[in-house]
Amino acid sequence: MARTRTEVLSYAKPQQISADGCFAISFFRPTGSNPVMVNGFPIPAGQSLDIKQNVGDEDVSTYDIVFTNTTPNLNDLTVIKIMPE
């Protein structure tokens, strides 16, 4: 069984995020935050996009985060990664 650690990060500006070899990654958009897309996929308010690898595989993708509304101070996306130790 692999040892893992969980990383939880919040983002508030458009940018690229590296998966850094994680086993799983989730993108969560809180209710009330500006609309956001991850690699062109819109995430509904209060919902998440979850990506998991097969056992033994690691995610080496780069994900593009784009907020599609400019309401000040409402950009919020939480990214949770399950990383190998």
Burial class (CB in 10 A: 0-12, 13-18, 19+), 82: middle
pLDDT higher than 90, residue 62:
yes
pLDDT in tens, 16-38: 999 999 999 999 999 999 999 99
Domain 4-84, CATH among 2.60.120.10, 3.40.50.880, 3.40.50.2300, 2.40.50.100? 2.60.120.10
Q: pTM for this one?
A: 0.93
The helix/strand/coil state of 60 is coil
Name the DSSP class of 59.
B
Numbers of helices and strands, H then E, in the chain: 0, 8
CB atoms within 10 A of CB 7: 12
As given in the structure block, the two tokens for residue 65 are 């985060």
Residues 83 and 5 sit within 8 Å (Cβ to Cβ): yes
